[in-house]
Amino acid sequence: MYIIAGLGNPGTEYSDTRHNTGFITVDMISREFDINMNRIKFKAIIGEGTIGGQDVVLVKPQTYMNLSGLSILDLVSAYRIDPSNLIVIYDDVDLNLGTVRIRPSGSAGTHNGMRSIIYQLQTEDFPRVRLGIGPPPVGEDLASYVLSPFGKEEIPVILEACKRAVKGVELILTRGIQEAMSRYNG
């Protein structure tokens, strides 16, 4: 079993912001594989289903970004999975807009949601799918930037990246992370 968690902030005021690309991608996975995200459990909206023969739990934590680890820890404990079977999808200001980067482990970088998850799980050893949103313009506050909506010209670029991330997650589940990295990183 795998837990696939997209990071974001709950509430309509955040739905189309840069910080919610993890939620956007999990919603795409939900539609692609016909997994209903209709339950609230463990401080998250969840849906259970299968992808490529693997049992999965799709997750959108509802704790706000900085406390994402609280929900993820509850889920990992309840479903009794090893952190290596947790896939976290999130936005990354250190990658150019539209870049997808899959990794088997790593640090949180500047991402507070990932910091929270690593702190709660006490490990960095779980796969992640990073979606590049690009750096903030010079002089713009990082928090304001990540909580702002994408520009009209950026929307098709990020949606295409999210679609590639969906395929990357499917490949992680069916062929392994090395295959997914070689096909989708770049």
The residues assigned a catalytic role are 19
CB 79 within 8 Å of CB 58: no
Could you tell me which residues are beta bridge partners of residue 49? 56
CB 52 within 8 Å of CB 38: no
Task: Indicate the Cα dihedral angle 173, 185, 134, 98, nearest 10°.
Answer: -80
Structure tokens at 118: 């690593």
Report residue 18 CA to chain centroid gap: 12
Structure tokens at 2: 């795998």
Closest residue by Cα to residue 181 from 128, 108, 123: 128
